[in-house]
Amino acid sequence: MRAYKAADTNGNGFVELREFEKIVQLLQQYDEISKIFQELDTNDDHRVSFDEFKNGFELLGEDTPDEESLKQEFDGIDSNDGGYILFDEVRIKY
């Protein structure tokens, strides 16, 4: 539904041919983000804590930056300042 709404650029409630390509791209992006989010969310509470975020860098094979840099990145994604990263926050950011 999110991809459909985002692709309906003229707001007429229908996806026209030119908008269909956008839906396909958005669905692929959402799928990729969802897979990464699920890997990070190790306790399956549908949100990512700072510890899960930090541990995720190793899980994803990324070099782990210093804790302060990680916290800044985490806070930049946590747009509602709830102390957790939600899927929609990741989707909007990326």
pLDDT in tens, 40-49: 999 999 999 9
**In this model, does residue 17 exceed pLDDT 70?**
yes
> Percentage of residues in the chain with pLDDT exceeding 70?
94
Confidence at residue 43, expressed as pLDDT on a 0 to 100 scale: 97
Task: Quote the CA–CA distance of 64 and 83 in Å, as a whole number.
Answer: 20
At the second CATH level, the architecture of 2-93 is: Orthogonal Bundle (1.10)
**In this model, does residue 7 exceed pLDDT 80?**
no
Query: Domain boundaries in the chain?
Result: 2-93
pLDDT in tens, 32-42: 999 999 999 99
Please say whether the beta carbons of 59 and 40 come within 8 A.
yes
End-to-end CA distance of the chain: 18
Q: Which two tokens stand for residue 50?
A: 């700072």
**Phi-psi region for residue 63, left (φ > 0), alpha (ψ -120 to 50) or beta?**
beta
